[in-house]
Each structure stands twice: as C-alpha cells, then as structure tokens.
Chain A
C-alpha cells in the first residue's frame, strides 16, 4: 500500500526581549544559576505578573508578517501542573484566545512552492531548568530561564514529507530572525520544534493517529526523527498493529523516537483565565505603529528580486534566507538590474557562499564587501576579465591585496590582468600558434572539431589567460578556414 505522511509543527520561538515576559529580570543566556530570577520568577508569595509589552509587540510583528489575524482582545490562561522548575505550579500561556490566529507561510521545496497554513501563535512563559548532574543524586533548579517569553507557533497538518517540514521550519527560522523577534539560536534552545506526525493510506482524507515528537533542536534531527517515525508507524500498521497517540522523544544518539507518555497519562491542565492579568487589548493605532515598523518581508523581497532584478526564483529564495544576505545582494546589485545583478546573484550564491562556508564566517564579516564584488562583477560584464580571472581577483581581494570599492580594478591593473581584446595583438598571437602547431591545424581541417580546443588552449597559455576565449575561438576558425 502507498502511504501518505501528514505533519504539523509546533515551534517555540524565544522572543528576544531584554526582560522576561512577566517580570523585569534579564533574559540573557548563560548567567550563573538563579542570578536572573526575581521575586516574581521565584514565585514568592504575594508576587504578581506584569505583562511585558515588548513581548506582545514581537508576537504581533510575527502575526503581521504571516498574514494572521491579530486579535484585538486575547486572554492569558493558567496551565496548571506540578514540576520543580515551574515555580508557580502553573505556566501562564494563552489557551482559548491567542493573540495571533491564522496566517500562512510559503515554502519552496525543490522548484515547487507550497503554502503551509498556521493555526495560531500564542504568548507564554518558559519554565526553568532542572539540573541533574553535580548534585549527588539530588536535583538543582535554575530559574534563570523561567519567565522567558516564548511565541508558540502552531501549524496546520499541511506538510507531507520530512523535507517539507524542514523547509517550513527553516522558513519560520529565517522569518523570526528577519523580523528581529528571535535570535534563532537552536543550540541555546531559542528555536525549538515539536512535530506531530501521522500516516494514512494515500488518497484517504481521514487523518491517522498522530504522535508528537519532542526535543528536535536541529533541522537535521527534525528530518531524521520524522523519517524514523514515519517508518515506524508504517511498519506498525503493515504488521497489523495500530499507532498509539502518545508523546515521543527523539534520541539523536540512537536516531530513534521513544515513547515519553501516552494519551492516558496526559495531564489535565485545568486551564482557566489568569485573574492576575487583564485581557490583552491590541488597539488599531498600536497595530498600525507595529506594521509601519516592519521591514520588507522575505516573500515581498523575493518577488521584487525576480521582477526588478530579473533573478531566477531559486536564486531569489537563496538571497532572502536572511536579512544579511539580501542586504549584501541589494548593496552589490544597487541600481543595476539585468546582467550585472544576475552576475552578483551568481557570485553571492556560488563563490562567495562557498568561501564563507569554508572559513566559517558570516556574510556581514565577508572579506569581500558587496561594493567590491560589484566592482569585480562589472569588469566581467564589460569583458575586461574572464570569469576565471575574476576568481583570482576575488581571492586577491579576499586576502587583502587591495582595499576599497575599486579593489578589483586596482588588482587587475597591478597584475596586468586586462583581457586582451585588441584584435590586432590577438591575431598576431593566433598566427604564431597556427604556425607552431601544424598537426592540430591539419586535424581540424580534417574535421576533428576537438582540435580547435587545443589551439585555443595554446593561445590562452600564451596570453596567460588574458585573452577572451570566445574571441580567440572566432579568430582561429576564421584564420584556419581562410588558410584552407
């Protein structure tokens, strides 16, 4: 039987506010345990939460970026359960009425575009951490993280493969950084995914029983966990069993998912509106203010890159994966649509990206700046240098051989790399090559097309690469035929 995979994701994005969602304590990562825990975070008797408006603004920024409805009135609720790192004995979250509802994210898998619908995004506070090591059988509690603002982004079950799930997670990851609401640091847990996975016979419109997989803190784990889980579920059903609704944990060391708790053990969280907090009201002027402050979104930028600069859709996607790369491109291609822009795009997604990867540096720290790249690309476009020579010039700028916006020209001049486009000089060299390679000339005349390549190579060698290969080719053919 053919099976269809159905995936929905819940993403917890830590909002990059300076202070916590309900207290004034700092959200900075990595401080000594419990030094960023205020009376409110420790849940001392008598303390009360006060909502951080910056966290709300970030949630709204997200909602506006994905075409959601931002509710003019939303409610904070208490999710009640006992755990040592949950100081109040309840988590303040949003339940029935979240701040953001609906919306969608466009993903590109291969060449196909797809829309993933969002169910909701709601604000909540993070818990602390239980530390089991170094306490000789006891457990330590660090409440620095308690009260850190989270935006939980819930998708509809619209994804049909691990690849789509990863593309969606990456698109969200790019977006939250793009609109500056989350630093996206997955190692520090700033961006965490849970995946709801089920399978069903292809063509069926009834959803299968789903499992929720937790602890997916990298895109690779997300992909592997889903792949494993899909195989597990299909095998289970094909062997006559049935999938149990449960929460499973992904173990990256064994590359498998394991049951954590079943539906039967599920908590009754006894949600109810938090009487310590007023309903969250979002006024029209506030919404407009936040809207006005939003940067151009990746989707809009992508469309503009295609229509204004004439880029290919794929290049436009790559160039809008982060605000930094798109800013680099726009600076490089500024005011130059057409061939120069396309060359810029090719160089950024090709040579530059490869080099940045190799050396492990971010594009903002690139040792070839966008205006330097533009200077280089223009010399390719006007035929001064070939692509091959351009790579040498790129390396030279990278290693600091010349500075400033005119670095490419300086290097071309200093190294004498200008392409020989004076046809007189070129013809002279071609004549010499023809005279010295009678055999190849004969072969070519005899119909061996390949022989011309060897002759072109000889000319390029003689000019140390500075000849325009196309021009050389033309001259050669003309002269050999003329001689015949």
Chain B
C-alpha cells in the first residue's frame, strides 16, 4: 500500500477500503523506521497528524469528502503551518512555531488533507543538494551516499522512499524539478503567480513558486487543483478562472510540437543523461509528436543573471531575521550591533551568508546599475527567447539536470559547480514559465534521470497531459529504489 499513488489512495479512501487514520498510521510508521536513514523530515508530529486524519474520516462519514480528504501530504518546511515548527532548515528559525497557515497549507487543510510532517530542505531553499540544511543532509534513497538534490530534497527523497504519497515543494531556480530528477519523482513548478506565496518563507520573491511533488503526473494534477487559486494576500497572485488540471490528461499528444533547444544538449551534459533524454524524446515521436529544434541563445546567461537577482532579493528578504521579534537570538551581546552581528553570524549557515553578501554587494551604491539593472535586462532577453521558441512549438523538452545524483560532499566545496547543477532549470524561473520534471530512465550507474517539460504561460494542463501520456506508455515513474 505504501507504493500506492495519491490517486489510488484517494480512490481507496472514497471506496472506504481504507480510512485516513489507517493511511496516516501506515506512512507515520514508515517515517518512524526509515527517516533515520534518509533524514527527510525535520518535524513529525504524530498526534497532530492523526487528529487531522480523524477529522478527515469524520468529514467523509458526514459526506463531506473531496479527492484529497484524508490523504497524508508532507509539507516542505518553508511553508508556515499553524502550530507546527517551521524552520526553513535554519538554526535561525529552529524555535519558530508558526502562528498562522500559509495559503497552500490552508488550501490543503480545507481540502481535508493530512499534514504528515515538515520536510527537510536546503537552508532557506538555498542549495541544490540539501547539504546546507542545519538539520543535516538528506540522503538519496537510490544511493544513500548521494544527494537527493535541492532545495526540496526532503520532499523528493520522502516520495522516492515511499514515506509519503505526495509532498509540496518550492522552486526558485529548480528546487522542485532538480531533486525530482535526482530521485526519480515528479514535480511541477507552476507559472509565476499561480500559487500564492503567502506563508511561504521568501527566498527570492520574483522567482519563488510553490508546486506539487508526487510520483505521477496525474497526482500532480490532483494536487495542483488544490494549490492553485487567487489570494488577495499575495499581490503577485493572479486572479484567473479556475481550471481543472485533470481534464486534459487523457487527450492524445499526436501532432504535439516538441521544441528541443540545442543549448540544452551542449557541453557539460553527462553523456548517458543525454542518451536517456533522447530516448524519451524518441518515445514522444512514437506517440505522434513532432520534434523541432528551437534556440534559446541567452540561456547561457541565466546562471549569472540568477546569481545576481536571487541573492539581491534574498539579502533583503532575510533582513527580518534579526533576533528582535522571533527566531534565534545570540545568548550574549553587549549592544545592539553585537546582537545583530552575532545572531546572524550564528543563526545562518555558510551558503546563506554567501548569498546575503553577494546580494548586498550587487545592490550597493555604485554597483547596482552594473549588476542588478543589467541582470534585469538580460532576464527580459531570456523571457523573449522563450516567447520566440514557443512560436515554433507547444512544449520545450530537455534534461532537468546536467548530471544524475552526485555524491554527498562532492560539490559542497565548490559553489560554482553546485550552481551549474541548475543550469537547465533557472531560465524557466527567470521567465516565470511553468516547468516540470518526470523520470525518464536511468544512467549507467542506475541513477534516475529527469526529463524536463517546459510549457508556455498557464499551460500546466497541457504539460500534465504530455507527462501523463508518457507515463501511460512507460513505467519509469513506478520504479522503486533498491531496499525500499
């Protein structure tokens, strides 16, 4: 049963073959025995989860059940959940119990879902390996010597290890897609503005977007139906007609135009990853899709642009963690400045500090035009590249990550190598486009490879259809790591 998809569980709950309490106990039990091995969760609160499960069962008994009622879902520890420790994997928030629910959490609660726990992540979502967490690294269920990717590594690893059927993630430069690729799971980063950021602890506001993580495209669609929705409390939230992301899943993909950017298959791509992705494209061709080459000439600038803009916003977003009102405060200080300095020196990890420093630098007087303003201009060029590409195709495909899961510690000392891990995902955030990753095979070492599908703005339903049709024809998504 722990291998069941969200959809299967939902049907079982609806058919009363299973209660929410039973499902919740099942996954809580797996977390109890296996979390020590993978370190996927920062917080588990069995009583709280079971109480929610009981409520869900009562709601079902009263005839008030929705597709997600009673389903255990893990929340990335970046989402504020009322009464739950919400740490963002930082010492800075290691004592922060949120007094309120994020919009996403509120929507899952209202749909009757059960919070099964808060998942580990890179500190403040800054990282691509889950090694920057103050709560220790997450290990990849496919090989525990390897990273699960990041920053939503806890959610991805929990899915791969079958500790949860579904989880939330956030994606600023690839933080949903890259860990999904590295753990053989599915994740979708929606169009910027579709999922409210209210209650999602900000890293880089103009890039952050919450999204679903699961094991099938169909499950992602189910979750997205709950996660998407206008929220007055987020000024960048978009007020659009409600869509049913399940509705297009069964459509044929015959005639679909798939664009392959040559920049996605250039130097730096692990050869066996290239081969697996090419095979996936061939599969689509077999399904009747038309393959066409597209160009994203400014793609190469996306990493440098990202590492100006994201740290700039982060340096300001993280200023509120000052030890004054909540969170960590250094125990000893002589005056205000020392309180600030020691609190922030002790409360933040090295990668967070690095990005705050970069961000502070690029916003400084005399550097702002050369870095921030210029980066914004290039950002627009990157978005224009995509707009031109989408004149020639319906979706863009390529690898999610240039490599499969790397070893713990392998890139930790070399931030530039680490940053290149997101080379194929970052441009999507810069353009505000939706992107997803689904498993499409394995490298020569047996590590999962992710296929990235990028859609035009608001074409999530189409992307999910494209992914679902592939999953009907293949079984990569249902492969289970050894020892699970």
Question: Does A45 lie within 8 Å of B86, measured CB to CB?
Answer: yes
Q: Given A46-B80, A46-B102 in contact, is the A82-B340 Cβ separation under 8 Å?
A: yes
Q: Measured between alpha carbons, how far is A36 from B372 in the docked complex, in Å?
A: 36
Does B363 contact A270, Cβ atoms closer than 8 Å?
yes
Q: Which of A49, A80, A89 has the most CB of B within 10 A?
A: A89
Q: Is the CB of A90 within 8 A of B235?
A: no
Q: Answer whether residue A30 sits at the interface, using C-beta atoms and an 8 A cutoff.
A: no
Kindly provide the distance from the CB of B175 to the nearest chain A CB, expressed in whole angstroms: 16
User: Dominant SS at the B interface?
Assistant: loop
Q: Compute how far the CA of A373 lies from the CA of B365 in the bound complex, rounded to whole angstroms.
A: 62
B312 contacts A272, C-beta separation under 8 Å: yes
With A39-B99, A46-B102: A51-B235 Cβ-Cβ less than 8 Å: yes
Q: Is the interface of A mostly helix, strand, loop or mixed?
A: loop
Collect the chain A residues with CB atoms within 8 Å of residue B80's CB.
Answer: 44-46
Question: Shortest CB–CB separation between residue B155 and chain A, in angstroms?
Answer: 17
Q: Which residue of chain B has the shortest Cβ distance to A42 in the bound complex? A: B325
Name the segment of B193-201, B241-249, B437-445, B458-466 touching the other chain. B193-201
Question: For B360, what are the chain A residues with a Cβ–Cβ distance below 8 Å?
Answer: 270
Contact B363 A44 (CB under 8 A): no
Task: Name the residue of chain B whose CB is nearest to the CB of A79.
Answer: B316
Indicate whether B236 reaches chain A with its CB closer than 8 angstroms: yes
Residues of B within 8 A of A139 (CB): 336
For the complex, what is the distance from the CA of A275 to the CA of B317, rounded to whole Å? 10
B198→A46 contact, CB < 8 A: yes
Interface contact A88-B320, CB-CB below 8 Å: yes
Interface centre among A45, A46, A78, A89 (most CB of B within 10 A): A45
Check if B236 sits within 8 Å of A276, measured CB to CB.
yes
B81 to chain A minimum Cβ distance, whole angstroms, is 10
The answer to whether B457 has its CB under 8 Å from any CB of chain A is no
B residues near A88, Cβ cutoff 8 Å: 319-320
- Chain B, residues 70-108, CB within 8 Å of chain A (1/0): the string is 000000000110000010100001001011101000000
Contact: A78 with B316, CB < 8 Å?
Answer: yes
Asked if B316 contacts A90 (CB within 8 A), the reply is: yes
Residues of A contacting B235 in the complex (Cβ-Cβ under 8 angstroms)? 48-51, 276-278
Q: How far is the CA of A175 from the CA of B102 in the complex (A)?
A: 43
Find chain A residues with CB under 8 A from B336 CB: 84, 139
Chain A residues within an 8 Å CB radius of B197? 46, 48
**Cβ distance B336 to chain A, nearest Cβ, rounded Å:** 7
Residues of A within 8 A of B363 (CB): 80, 270-272
Q: Hey, which chain A residues are within 8 Å of B325, CB to CB?
A: 42-43, 87, 141
**Chain A residue with the shortest CB-CB distance to B312:** A272
Contact A276 B368 (CB under 8 A): no
Q: Within 8 Å CB of A90, what residues of B? A: 316, 319
Q: How far is the CB of A52 from chain B (nearest CB, A)?
A: 11
Whether a CB of chain A sits under 8 angstroms from the CB of B364 is: yes
A276's partner among B96, B98, B205 (CB-CB below 8 A) is: B205
Q: How many residues of B contact A (CB 8 A)?
A: 44
Mark interface residues in B375-404 (1 if CB within 8 Å of A CB, else 0).
Answer: 000000000000000000000000000000
In the complex, B171 has a CB within 8 A of chain A: no
A216-239 vs B, Cβ < 8 Å mask (1 yes, 0 no): 000000000000000000000000
Contact (Cβ within 8 A) A45 B340: no
Query: B324's closest neighbor in chain A, by CB?
Result: A84
Task: Decide: B320 and A45 in contact? CB cutoff 8 A.
Answer: yes
Find out whether the CB atom of A270 lies under 8 angstroms from the CB atom of B324: no
Give the residues in chain A near B315, CB-CB below 8 Å: 80, 270
| Residue A47, interface by CB 8 Å | yes
Beta-carbon nearest neighbor of B360 in chain A: A270
Indicate which residue in A46, A78, A141, A270 contacts B201 across the interface (CB closer than 8 Å): A46
In the complex, residue of chain B having the shortest beta-carbon distance to the beta carbon of A85: B324
- For the complex, is B293 an interface residue (Cβ under 8 Å from A)? no
B326 touches A44 (CB 8 A): yes
Q: How far is the CA of A51 from the CA of B234 in the complex (A)?
A: 10
Residues of B with C-beta under 8 A to A359: none
Q: With an 8 A cutoff between CB atoms, is A284 at the interface?
A: no
CB neighbours (8 Å) of B372 from chain A are 272
Within B331-364, which residues are at the interface with A (CB < 8 Å)? 336, 340, 360, 363-364
Residue of B nearest to A50 (CB): B235
Does A358 sit within 8 A of B, measured CB to CB?
no
**What is the minimal beta-carbon distance from A141 to any residue of chain B, in angstroms?**
7
The answer to whether B422 has its CB under 8 Å from any CB of chain A is: no
A133 contacts which chain B residues (CB < 8 A)?
A: none
**Distance of A88 Cα from B321 Cα, bound (Å):** 8
Chain A residues within 8 Å of B96, by CB? 45
Let me know if A48 and B322 touch, CB within 8 A.
no
Given A49-B235, A272-B372, are A89 and B319 neighbors across the interface (CB < 8 Å)?
yes
**A87 touching B236, Cβ below 8 Å:** no
Q: How far is the CA of A277 from the CA of B202 in the complex (A)?
A: 14
Q: Could you tell me the distance in whole angstroms from the C-beta of A46 to the nearest C-beta in chain B? A: 4
- B88, A270: Cβ atoms closer than 8 Å: no
Question: How far apart are B90's CB and chain A's nearest CB, in angstroms?
Answer: 10
B contact residues around A87 at 8 Å (CB): 320, 324-325
B204 nearest in chain A by CB position:
A275
Chain B nearest CB: distance from A243 CB in Å?
A: 23
Within 8 A of A (CB), among B286-331: 312-313, 315-316, 318-322, 324-326
- Inter-chain CA distance A268–B235, complex, in Å, is 27
B110 within 8 A of A: no
A310 to B271, CA, bound (A): 92
Residues from chain A with a CB closer than 8 A to the CB of B198 are 46-48
A-B pairs, top 6 by smallest CB distance, nearest first, are A89-B319, A270-B363, A275-B205, A275-B206, A46-B199, A45-B201
- Knowing that A88-B319, A89-B316 are A-B contacts, what are 7 other residue pairs whose CB atoms are under 8 Å apart, sorted by A's residue number? A47-B199, A50-B233, A50-B234, A84-B322, A87-B325, A268-B365, A277-B235
A/B interface sample: 30 pairs, CB < 8 A: A42-B326, A44-B98, A45-B86, A45-B96, A45-B98, A45-B202, A46-B79, A46-B98, A46-B197, A46-B201, A48-B197, A48-B198, A48-B233, A48-B234, A50-B234, A51-B235, A80-B363, A84-B322, A89-B318, A89-B320, A90-B316, A90-B319, A270-B316, A270-B365, A270-B368, A271-B363, A275-B204, A275-B313, A276-B236, A278-B236
Residues of A participating in the B interface, judged by any CB pair closer than 8 Å: 39, 42-51, 78, 80, 82, 84, 87-90, 139, 141, 268, 270-272, 275-278
